[in-house]
Amino acid sequence: MLNCFEARRRFPSFWKRELQAEARAELTEHLRNCGRCDEAFRAFALTAPVLHSDSAPAGEFPRRVGSSGGFQARRPAALARREAGRRRLAASAAAMLLVAASMAAYLAVTAPIGTLSDELSVEPPVSQIFGMDPNSPGDDLAG
């Protein structure tokens, strides 16, 4: 007689049709007679198509990796998006610097010589301003 623990342990194998006929019959019999396990199976069925499906991916994986021509790295979209974000950040910083420089130029004309214009004469790189290096690689996850 199958107990509830063993019955639920068989759900993934049942879903993948890996159970022998006898084990499958035992499980379905148990589910017919045990309301709680039957309910647990129906809840299991809601995520099993993703969590317990071993079917081959529908789309063909691009052959950029594993092609006979050797390994060819492509910039994936996720990485490209992150780098686009960094570029946008750098562009915003540059725009802010431009505005600041314009103000400085204006003040240099109107204010006494040797104040704000002197401080802005050497512009620090954007990376120093924001404490980041836009060219640095992403987090190393392999560690």
Which residues here bind other proteins, judged by CB under 8 A? 12, 14-15, 17, 27-28, 31, 41-43, 45-59, 61-62, 64-71, 73-74, 76-79, 82, 139-143
Looking at the Cβ atoms of 14 and 104, the one nearer to other proteins is: 14
- In the complex, the smallest distance separating the C-beta of residue 63 from other proteins, rounded to whole angstroms, is 9
The DSSP string of 66-92 is S-TT-------HHHHHHHHHHHHHHHH
Contact 4, 26 (CB under 8 A): no
Report the alpha-carbon angle 30-33-11, nearest 5: 35
Looking at the Cβ atoms of 80 and 98, the one nearer to other proteins is: 80
- In the complex, the smallest distance separating the C-beta of residue 60 from other proteins, rounded to whole angstroms, is 9
Looking at the Cβ atoms of 59 and 112, the one nearer to other proteins is: 59
Contacts of 24 (CB under 8 A, 6+ apart): 14
- In the complex, the smallest distance separating the C-beta of residue 86 from other proteins, rounded to whole angstroms, is 13
Looking at the Cβ atoms of 73 and 113, the one nearer to other proteins is: 73
Name the DSSP class of 97. H
